[in-house]
Amino acid sequence: MTASSKLAEFALKAFSQEIPKNVYDVAVLAII
């Protein structure tokens, strides 16, 4: 695994923990 993909995975995990799940779901629905 490259450093960039590790960083991207870490950022994704950190981002997903920063926001509540329901807010994330609303954001996804808004994008679609």
Kindly report, residue by residue over 1-32, the tens digit of the pLDDT.
588 888 888 877 877 676 667 777 777 888 76
DSSP H or E stretch at residue 7: helix 3-18
Specify the pLDDT at position 3: 84
The whole model's pTM is what?
Answer: 0.40
Nearest to 16 by CA among 32, 30, 27: 27
Instruction: Count the domains in the chain.
Output: 1
Instruction: Find the domain containing 20 and state its range.
Output: 1-32
